[in-house]
């Protein structure tokens, strides 16, 4: 693997992928809509070629992918736009992969699994009950039914540098500002949160192995953790304000006025009945799953968030 494309390079997992790939000496075409943000983040990396473009425009994706052996899909869209935008993005990426004889690696979430009663294996039946889960499953099926070599990498909720559109970011942001914060869901429930850098390392290890293609893979976190435990770790970083739990009912109320919250409502089942990923397949066929302790991952994310908020304030 000498040269790849990362679509969604300015998002949390996309940025982590770019940094991890170039740390291994791999050239990266960093593809995202915002040229200014791409330049600010990646212009100093000599192994990165910045390519501003829109994943929803086939010609942009085709041009950006020229010379890439693997196309990493780390593109995100607002919840309310998923139905219109995600399938189109997949078709554009498939067209680009076909044109350039490239493979595709999808950085996926856990929504397609639907309700589950135990640690979820890749072989577990997928029966999503939500609109967004059904969209993710259709994306997966479309990729696997193509004649392109693909990897589907399922990851839990993310946290880390640049992962600002995630559930845990709202908690970390409050702590970084030393203000009262919110925690989405029941603080008693133990759930998985994956550090973006761990996710990127695991995905790249898969992408390097020919035998990993045309399969689903689970990438679990260090271990499930409760909101109470996260609060305790933040207390260890000298955070002393309150963290308030946000329930499904509160999300539903906010959804009356806010389109994002309206879409968030159907995913709140994950905060009450979490999907926990089984990583035995990865460990048996690839090796140990990267597992940064939450204490270290939260500290690094907190430090990044403080810098990020300070920069926003000074602009």
Q: What is the CATH number of the domain that holds 154?
A: 3.40.50.720
Taken as a whole, the chain contains a residue count of 315
Given a contact cutoff of 8 angstroms between Cβ atoms, the answer to whether 99 and 59 are in contact is no
pLDDT digits (tens, 9 = 90+) for 64-90: 999 999 999 999 999 989 999 999 999
Given a contact cutoff of 8 angstroms between Cβ atoms, the answer to whether 178 and 239 are in contact is yes
pLDDT digits (tens, 9 = 90+) for 109-128: 999 999 998 899 999 999 99
Q: Are strands 225-226 and 190-191 parallel, antiparallel or unpaired?
A: antiparallel
Task: Look at residue 269 and tell me if it is in a domain.
Answer: no
Task: Look at residue 172 and tell me if it is in a domain.
Answer: no
What pLDDT is stored for residue 315 in this prediction?
A: 65
Given a contact cutoff of 8 angstroms between Cβ atoms, the answer to whether 214 and 144 are in contact is yes
Q: Where are the beta strands (DSSP E) in 2-56?
A: 3-7, 27-32, 48-52
Strand partners, 72: 6, 105
d(CA 86, CA 104): 15
**Number of domains the chain contains:** 1
Strand partners, 190: 226
Task: Look at residue 304 and tell me if it is in a domain.
Answer: no
Low-confidence ranges of the chain (pLDDT < 70): 255, 315
In 3D, which of 113, 19, 149 has the Cα closest to residue 74?
Answer: 19
Q: Where are the beta strands (DSSP E) in the chain?
A: 3-7, 27-32, 48-52, 70-73, 103-108, 150-154, 157-159, 181-184, 190-191, 193-195, 215-218, 225-226, 243-246
| Sign of CA pseudo-dihedral 159, 160, 163, 165 | positive
Q: What is this structure's pTM?
A: 0.95
Task: Look at residue 78 and tell me if it is in a domain.
Answer: yes
Task: Look at residue 37 and tell me if it is in a domain.
Answer: yes
pLDDT digits (tens, 9 = 90+) for 242-273: 999 988 788 877 767 777 777 888 898 899 89
Q: CA torsion angle for 2, 197, 65, 10 (degrees, to 10)?
A: -140
d(CA 180, CA 159): 19
Phi and psi dihedrals of 118, rounded to 5? -150, 180
Given a contact cutoff of 8 angstroms between Cβ atoms, the answer to whether 58 and 37 are in contact is no
Query: For residue 63, what are the domain limits?
Result: 3-162+192-223+275-292
In 3D, which of 219, 270, 228, 268 has the Cα closest to residue 247?
Answer: 268
For the chain, the average pLDDT equals 95
Task: Look at residue 127 and tell me if it is in a domain.
Answer: yes
The DSSP element (H or E) to which 301 belongs, if any, is helix 294-314
Task: Look at residue 141 and tell me if it is in a domain.
Answer: yes
d(CA 61, CA 6): 11
Task: Look at residue 12 and tell me if it is in a domain.
Answer: yes
Radius of gyration of the chain (CA): 19
């Amino acid at each position: 693997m000498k040269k790849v494309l990362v679509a969604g390079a300015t998002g949390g997992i996309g940025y982590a992928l770019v940094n991890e790939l170039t740390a291994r000496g791999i050239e990266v075409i960093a593809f995202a809509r915002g040229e200014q943000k791409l330049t600010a983040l990646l212009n100093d990396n000599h192994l990165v070629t910045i390519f501003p473009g829109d994943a929803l425009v086939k010609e942009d994706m085709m041009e950006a992918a020229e010379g890439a052996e693997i196309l990493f899909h780390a593109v995100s869209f607002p919840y309310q736009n998923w139905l219109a935008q995600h399938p189109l993005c997949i078709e554009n990426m498939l067209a680009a992969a076909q044109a350039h004889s490239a493979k595709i690696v999808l950085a996926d979430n856990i929504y397609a699994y639907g309700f589950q009663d135990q640690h979820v294996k890749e072989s577990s039946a997928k029966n999503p009950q939500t609109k967004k889960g059904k969209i993710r499953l259709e994306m997966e099926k479309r990729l696997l039914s193509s004649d392109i070599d693909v990897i589907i990498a399922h990851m839990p909720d993310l946290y880390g540098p640049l992962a600002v559109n995630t559930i845990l970011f709202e908690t970390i942001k409050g702590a970084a500002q030393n203000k009262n914060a919110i925690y989405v869901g029941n603080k008693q429930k133990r759930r998985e949160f994956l550090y973006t850098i761990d996710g990127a390392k695991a995905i790249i290890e898969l992408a390097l192995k020919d035998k990993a293609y045309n399969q689903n893979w689970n990438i679990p976190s260090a271990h499930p953790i409760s909101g109470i435990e996260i609060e305790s770790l933040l207390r260890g970083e000298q955070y002393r304000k309150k963290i308030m739990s946000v329930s499904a009912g509160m999300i539903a109320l906010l959804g009356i006025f806010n389109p994002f919250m309206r879409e968030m409502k159907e995913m709140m089942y994950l905060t009450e009945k979490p999907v926990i990923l089984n990583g035995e397949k990865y460990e048996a066929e690839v090796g140990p799953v990267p597992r940064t302790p939450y204490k270290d991952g939260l500290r690094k994310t907190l430090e990044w968030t403080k810098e990020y908020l300070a920069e926003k304030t000074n602009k």
